[in-house]
């Protein structure tokens, strides 16, 4: 039902403060400040793993302009955040962008987006778990000389992370804080060493020359940079647990984007200068896996290279803790909204943690990963590559839908009057993410590492999951995303 212009929408129940008669425990409000939410976002984007894994690809396709490409990706998220932050002042809901789409386009399209969200985050997590198992096995074999099967490390760590997530957000934060600070500290040491020494290029600013940015590899490089922001939605998902969410969430959003964008740009700029503007593209192409480690050893010493090899693995663990905490809250919100079984929409009465949803996430991931393992799929070229590509495209589609829903929401409610915040910026973000979707589909083979065949057909799961969600909402007229509008 549309709302008359300039009339506030009456607040609805968010679920974390339901009447006692309902007998349902909700998320515990007021426990997370700006720093805590930023930690979850930064952990989910895994700076160490992203720089080590993605930056060589960006360098290899777009050369010395890699830092500017990261800034361009950050700029798109800044433009998106203008409308998103404005809308966040009126909505507090753990349902992530799905709750925003519900307020813009209604429950049926929101449930279609929920189908995409379940697909996206399940695929992304399974992909990252598979990659983690290989990295962890290589680390233990190289450093300890012990040969432990990758699947053993995978399922043991998955059980531990699931237990940590079920235990509660406070415990997760302590672990995340330590791991994230360690990986950031390692790059600070490397960046300072390169900048003080000057590297081969002598702190050249050639990386930020617009003529270097606009080249034949920009599209693919930009796409890979966008994938390094995949944990951004945590700023919405943790909103119900935030202290004064209408202030905390906007601050967390801009702090996260600024930190991630500047961190990626500064570090890749230093890496490029260390090797040299003319040689960095060839160096990244020749040895993508060892590119960052070789620079760390040359600039600081073998000890930093060894530390970073260890921190890549711990970075994965931090990322997976962040993702599982976030996705369990997603399922909690969908259970509360009557999209999924109501048991998922309850939180532990003592800890305020969506324990049932967290356990379901862990079990579902174990089943999916076991299926790939039993099928004999290669953990990197098949499980990781196929599922990461599918999850990335699904998530970008959700971002485009969210941008459109922001325009629709403010056109319907008239809660804000700024044309820039309610129309221009969201339209710019919609256009930007639509271009990224096109780039992703056009370059899907690149995302897959040059593979095709069956892997390409997985893209059909995107419209299929959206259609299933839309149809499910048509059969369940009692779906209610319960966003609190103020």
pLDDT digits (tens, 9 = 90+) for 421-477: 999 999 999 999 999 999 888 888 777 776 666 788 889 999 999 999 999 999 988
pTM score, whole prediction: 0.87
Is pLDDT at 222 greater than 90 in this prediction? no
pLDDT of 161 reads 93
Rounded mean pLDDT of the chain? Answer: 85
Q: Which residue has the higher pLDDT, 186 or 214?
A: 186
Which residue from 370, 382, 484, 481 is spatially nearest to 117, judged by alpha carbons?
481
pLDDT tens column, 75-95: 999 999 999 989 888 887 767
Pairwise CA distance, residues 145 & 148, whole Å: 9
Is pLDDT at 308 greater than 60 in this prediction? yes
Is pLDDT at 241 greater than 50 in this prediction? yes
Lowest-pLDDT choice from 67-76, 104-113, 168-177: 168-177
Pairwise CA distance, residues 346 & 342, whole Å: 7
* Maximum mean pLDDT: which of 58-67, 96-105, 335-344, 360-369: 360-369
Which residue from 51, 107, 58, 47 is spatially nearest to 334, judged by alpha carbons?
107
* Maximum mean pLDDT: which of 311-320, 321-330, 413-422, 427-436: 427-436
pLDDT of 46 reads 76
Is pLDDT at 12 greater than 70 in this prediction? no
pLDDT, average across residues 381-389: 89
Label residue 171 by pLDDT band (50, 70, 90): low
Q: Which residue has the higher pLDDT, 433 or 49?
A: 433
pLDDT of 485 reads 43
pLDDT of 303 reads 95
Q: In the chain, what percentage of residues exceed pLDDT 90?
A: 47
Is pLDDT at 16 greater than 90 in this prediction? no
Pairwise CA distance, residues 390 & 383, whole Å: 11
pLDDT of 170 reads 63
Q: Which residues pair with 485 in a beta bridge?
A: 91
| Chain center to CA of 149 | 28
Is pLDDT at 258 greater than 50 in this prediction? yes
Is pLDDT at 128 greater than 70 in this prediction? yes
pLDDT of 245 reads 79
Is pLDDT at 362 greater than 60 in this prediction? yes
Q: Which residue has the higher pLDDT, 347 or 204?
A: 204
Q: In the chain, what percentage of residues exceed pLDDT 70?
A: 90
pLDDT tens column, 391-435: 989 999 999 999 999 999 999 988 888 999 999 999 999 999 999
Is pLDDT at 14 greater than 90 in this prediction? no
Label residue 387 by pLDDT band (50, 70, 90): very high
* Maximum mean pLDDT: which of 47-56, 210-219, 311-320, 400-409: 400-409
Is pLDDT at 51 greater than 60 in this prediction? yes
Is pLDDT at 299 greater than 80 in this prediction? yes
Pairwise CA distance, residues 362 & 366, whole Å: 6
């Amino acid at each position: 039902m549309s709302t008359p212009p300039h009339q506030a929408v009456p607040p609805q129940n968010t679920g974390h403060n339901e009447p006692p008669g309902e007998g349902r425990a909700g998320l515990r409000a007021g426990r997370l400040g700006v720093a805590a939410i930023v930690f979850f976002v930064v952990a989910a984007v895994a700076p160490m793993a992203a720089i080590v894994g993605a930056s060589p690809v960006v360098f290899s396709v777009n050369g010395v302009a890699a830092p500017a490409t990261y800034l361009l990706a950050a700029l798109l998220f800044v433009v998106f955040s203008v409308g998103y932050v404005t809308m966040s002042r009126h909505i507090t809901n753990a349902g992530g962008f799905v709750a925003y789409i519900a307020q813009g386009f209604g429950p049926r399209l929101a449930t279609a987006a929920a189908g995409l969200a379940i697909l996206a985050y399940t695929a992304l997590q399974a992909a990252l778990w598979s990659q983690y198992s290989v990295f962890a096995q290589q680390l233990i074999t190289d450093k300890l000389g012990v040969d432990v099967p990758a699947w053993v490390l995978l399922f043991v760590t998955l059980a531990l992370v699931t237990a940590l997530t079920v235990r509660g957000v406070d415990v997760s934060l302590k672990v995340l804080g330590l791991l994230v600070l360690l990986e950031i500290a390692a790059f600070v040491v490397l960046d300072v060493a390169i900048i003080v020494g000057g590297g081969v290029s002598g702190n050249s600013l050639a990386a930020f020359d617009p003529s270097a940015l606009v080249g034949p590899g920009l599209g693919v490089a930009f796409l890979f940079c966008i994938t390094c922001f995949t944990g951004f939605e945590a700023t919405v998902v943790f909103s119900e647990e935030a202290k004064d969410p209408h202030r905390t969430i906007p601050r967390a959003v801009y702090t996260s984007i600024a930190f991630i964008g500047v961190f990626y740009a500064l570090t890749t700029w230093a890496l490029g200068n260390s090797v040299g503007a003319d040689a960095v593209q060839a160096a990244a192409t020749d040895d993508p896996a060892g590119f960052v480690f070789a620079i760390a050893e040359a600039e600081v010493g073998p000890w930093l290279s060894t530390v970073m090899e260890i921190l890549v693995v711990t970075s994965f663990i931090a990322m997976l803790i962040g993702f599982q905490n976030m996705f369990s809250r997603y399922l909690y919100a969908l259970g509360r909204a009557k999209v999924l079984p109501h048991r998922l929409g309850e939180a532990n009465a003592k800890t305020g943690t969506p324990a049932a949803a967290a356990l379901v996430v862990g079990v579902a991931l174990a089943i999916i990963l076991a299926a790939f393992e039993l099928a004999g799929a290669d953990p990197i070229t098949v499980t990781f590559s196929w599922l990461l590509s599918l999850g990335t495209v699904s998530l970008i589609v959700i971002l485009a839908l969210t941008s459109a829903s922001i325009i629709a929401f403010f056109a319907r409610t008239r809660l804000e009057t700024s044309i820039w915040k309610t129309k221009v910026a969201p339209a710019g973000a919609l256009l930007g993410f639509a271009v990224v979707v096109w780039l992703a589909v056009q370059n899907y083979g690149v995302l897959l590492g040059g593979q095709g065949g069956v892997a390409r057909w997985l893209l059909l799961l995107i419209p299929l999951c959206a259609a299933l969600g839309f149809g499910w909402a048509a059969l369940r007229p009692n779906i209610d995303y319960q966003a609190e509008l103020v």
